Amino acid sequence: MQVYLPIAEVSVNAFLLLGLGGIVGILSGMFGVGGGFLMTPLLFFIGIPPVVAVATEANQIVASSFSGVLAHFRRRTVDIKMGLVLQVGGLIGAGLGVVVFNYLKSLGQVDLLVTLCYVVFLGVVGTLMFIESLNAIFKSKRTGSAPAPRRQRGWVHALPFKMRFRTSGLYISVIPPIMVGVAVGILAAIMGVGGGFIMVPAMIYILGMPTKVVVGTSLFQIILVTAFTTMLHATTNYTVDIVLAVLLLVGGVIGAQIGTRIGTYLKAEQLRILLALMVMLVCIKLGLDLLLMPDELYSLGAAGGH
Amino acid sequence: MIRFARLASSLAIIALLGLATSAQALEEEVVLGLSQDRVAITADFDGSEILIFGAVKRETPIPKGPPLQVIVAVSGPSSPVTVRRKEKKLGIWVNADSVIVDSAPSFYAIATSAPFQEVISDTEDLRYRVSIARAIRSVGAAMNIENAQDFADAVVRIREDEGLYSLRENTVAVDQQTLFRSAIDMPSDLTEGHYTARIFLTRSGQVVSSFETDIDVRKVGLERFLYSMSREQPFLYGLMSLAIAVVAGWGASAAFRLLRQ
């Protein structure tokens, strides 16, 4: 069944979109990531214009994250206070990101920026997570004790403006969470992602939050940042395609529910290593696109855009 | 902008009328019918086929010489297009040079009754801008960029691949040098606007008569409503998108809880 998307102005198969939404939704629920880092490149691939894909994906992430976070709220694995602090940074970052996005769009370098962001962030985060979770698995097998990330305690704990985060059992400065929030907000606006793939490791390794509250808190924060990003794209670029979003999110929210259930059966280290592998795969695919000579050297764009 | 386009098209009609009178010696004229003069883009729009049929009206017997040929050209609204070329810089492929093609139709389909080269001469093609390459205007190409023509060629190549530009020879059927018909396929990825259908009658490569008519392509119903809302009420549209997202997210969560109980 073909559906004509009113904003993207292309006609696509509805079941393809529902299926994509479902698969990405499962991953989203399992790992506490919005799934945008997979969905946005997939949307490029099926012919959705990049500017529409990025904006619409932000809207779809709101739905899948909202669906996922409700399950975490019931299990009390959301650190609301931490989420709100991250949020302050997130809003600043999202605003900056949309400005950068629109500027590069006028230069014709948006695609490059988006792809480069993906390759760099996915590469670094994926590799770090992969190594760390492998170590964690080996350590837990040998000694049976959880690894304590003592190295980071130093600088994170030396900063001023300390605040107590009861759910996470932390007493740390608000500066690192706000900085993490800014970084994720910028990525949300530029890459059409919630930023969970960078947020989750940042919360574990930089902020030292316990893994059990990380996923819920990440989802909670992602909802607000992507909602803000959606509004910015809708009002400045007019690129949110509501029909595309609905198709993706119907599949997405159902997938997210299934994913959340699967996630509870897996150990934290296993979850992390799977997420790391997936992140690295996407990174390699996008990296090859930059390095190999493209089939078509030319691309078309509307002249005199914003 | 719209007013300018109308003015331009009415000027074009005046010009065509002038040409028609100068070719009056042959006294052949197009009478045209379209299966539809509007295309409605609905939510399940999956392309459309427009039948174009017509007759040649003449007061005198059919002239001797080579047979009458017919060209049908349907074009979408034109707009400037930025063409960017990738180059390898620091080991990765990035957009480097760009050229603005002043005017390229969003859609362009030509159907002819015989091979294009036989139907119309090069000078007539130049005058009426019939072929795909001539329908694209690229006068302002920067001088500092080599092979500016490559950029215009790229527009044609990319849009041909997307099915937006097409030249289909021998797809206009002509009966008794009097009746003709053809079908133009409109792809599903259409943009809105005023499309024009142009019909040319030719003999020995010379245009003896031409006719132009509009085809209105518009989004309708839900498509129209959503598109207008996103442009006119972007804030409300954004809020609506978010509301749908939250309700869908909550709905799925609630539904799954019910299922488990």
For chain B, the three-class secondary structure string (H helix, E strand, C coil) is CHHHHHHHHHHHHHHHHHHHHHCHHHCEEEEEEECCCEEEECCCCCCEEEEEEEEEEECCCCCCCCCCEEEEEEECCEEEEEEEEEEEECCEEEEEEEEEEEEEECCEEEEECCCHHHHCCHHHHHHHCCCHHHHCECCCCCCCCCCHHHHHHHHHHHHHHCCCEEEECCCCEEECCCEEEEEEEECCCCCCEEEEEEEEEEECCEEEEEEEEEEEEEECHHHHHHHHHHHHCHHHHHHHHHHHHHHHHHHHHHHHHHHHC
Distance from CA of A169 to the nearest CA of B (A): 28
pLDDT digits (tens, 9 = 90+) for A78-132: 888 888 888 888 888 888 888 888 888 777 777 777 778 878 878 887 888 788 8
Count residue pairs from A and B with Cβ separation < 8 A: 187
| Residue A250 Cα to chain centre, angstroms | 19
Q: Which of A6, A62, A240 sits opposite B246 (nearest CB)?
A: A62
Contact state of A299 with B242 under an 8 Å Cβ cutoff? no
CA distance A238 to A240: 6
Contact in structure between B110 and B130 (CB atoms under 8 Å): yes
Identify which of A2, A31, A24 has the alpha carbon closest to the alpha carbon of residue A125. A31
* Count, residues in chain A: 306
The answer, yes or no, to whether ipTM is higher than 0.85 is no
pLDDT digits (tens, 9 = 90+) for A263-282: 778 777 777 788 788 878 88
Q: How confident is the model at residue A222 (pLDDT cuts 50, 70, 90)?
A: confident
CA distance B71 to B212: 12
The angle formed by the CA atoms of residues A216, A218 and A222, to the nearest 5 degrees, is 120
List CB contacts (< 8 A) between B234 and chain A: 234-235, 238
Picking from B1, B242, B250 by the largest number of A CB atoms within 10 A of its own CB, the best residue to mutate is: B242
Contact in structure between B153 and B6 (CB atoms under 8 Å): no
pLDDT digits (tens, 9 = 90+) for B172-197: 888 888 888 888 888 887 888 889 99
Contact state of A11 with B47 under an 8 Å Cβ cutoff? yes
Picking from B97, B220, B253 by the largest number of A CB atoms within 10 A of its own CB, the best residue to mutate is: B253
Q: What local confidence, expressed as pLDDT, does residue B96 receive?
A: 80
Take residue B71 and report the two structure tokens written for it.
């060209």
Q: Residue B230's closest chain A neighbor by CA?
A: A238
Average pLDDT over residues A198-221: 82
Contact in structure between A78 and A216 (CB atoms under 8 Å): yes
The contacts of residue A51 (CB under 8 Å, 6+ apart) are A105, A110, A237, A239
List CB contacts (< 8 A) between B156 and chain A: none
Give the type of residue at B52.
Answer: I
Number of H helices, E strands in chain A: 11, 5
CA distance A27 to A7: 27
Contact in structure between A220 and A129 (CB atoms under 8 Å): no
Q: Considering chain B, what percentage of its residues have pLDDT values greater than 90?
A: 5
The enclosing H or E element of A279 equals helix A268-291
Q: What local confidence, expressed as pLDDT, does residue B133 receive?
A: 84
- Residues of chain B falling short of pLDDT 50: 1-25
What is the radius of gyration, based on Cα positions, of chain A? 19
List CB contacts (< 8 A) between B83 and chain A: 298-301
Q: What local confidence, expressed as pLDDT, does residue A10 receive?
A: 83
CA distance B141 to B146: 10
Contact state of A2 with B188 under an 8 Å Cβ cutoff? yes
Identify which of A125, A83, A100 has the alpha carbon closest to the alpha carbon of residue A225. A83
Q: What local confidence, expressed as pLDDT, does residue B145 receive?
A: 63
pLDDT digits (tens, 9 = 90+) for A206-217: 888 887 788 888
Q: Considering chain A, what percentage of its residues have pLDDT values greater than 90?
A: 1
Q: Residue A255's closest chain B neighbor by CA?
A: B252
CA distance A7 to B191: 10
Q: Answer whether residue A199 shows pLDDT above 70.
A: yes
Q: Which of A7, A257, A303 sits opposite B252 (nearest CB)?
A: A257
List CB contacts (< 8 A) between B253 and chain A: 66-67, 70-71, 253, 257
* Domain segments of chain A as ranges: 2-291
List CB contacts (< 8 A) between B147 and chain A: none
Q: Which of B98, B157, B241 sits opposite A240 (nearest CB)?
A: B241
Q: Residue A230's closest chain B neighbor by CA?
A: B238
Contact state of A302 with B238 under an 8 Å Cβ cutoff? no
Q: Residue A114's closest chain B neighbor by CA?
A: B94
Q: What local confidence, expressed as pLDDT, does residue B108 receive?
A: 92
List CB contacts (< 8 A) between A66 and chain B: 245-246, 249-250, 253
At residue A220, the 3 state secondary structure works out as helix
Q: Which of B82, B92, B93 sits opposite A303 (nearest CB)?
A: B82
Contact state of B250 with A66 under an 8 Å Cβ cutoff? yes
Contact in structure between B76 and B37 (CB atoms under 8 Å): no
Contact in structure between A12 and A47 (CB atoms under 8 Å): yes
List CB contacts (< 8 A) between B98 and chain A: 108
Q: Considering chain A, what percentage of its residues have pLDDT values greater than 70?
A: 91
Q: What local confidence, expressed as pLDDT, does residue B2 receive?
A: 42
Contact state of B84 with A108 under an 8 Å Cβ cutoff? yes
List CB contacts (< 8 A) between A249 and chain B: 244-245, 248-249
Sign of the alpha-carbon torsion through A102, A103, A104, A106:
positive
Distance from CA of A292 to the nearest CA of B (A): 8
Q: How confident is the model at residue A142 (pLDDT cuts 50, 70, 90)?
A: low
List CB contacts (< 8 A) between B92 and chain A: 290-291
Average pLDDT score, chain A = 79
Q: Answer whether residue A300 shows pLDDT above 80.
A: no
Buried/exposed A197-232: b ≥16 CB within 10 Å, e otherwise: bbbbbbbbbbbbbbbebbbbbbbbbbbbbbbbbbbb
Contact in structure between B79 and B108 (CB atoms under 8 Å): no
CA distance B23 to B121: 16
Take residue A278 and report the two structure tokens written for it.
């997936």
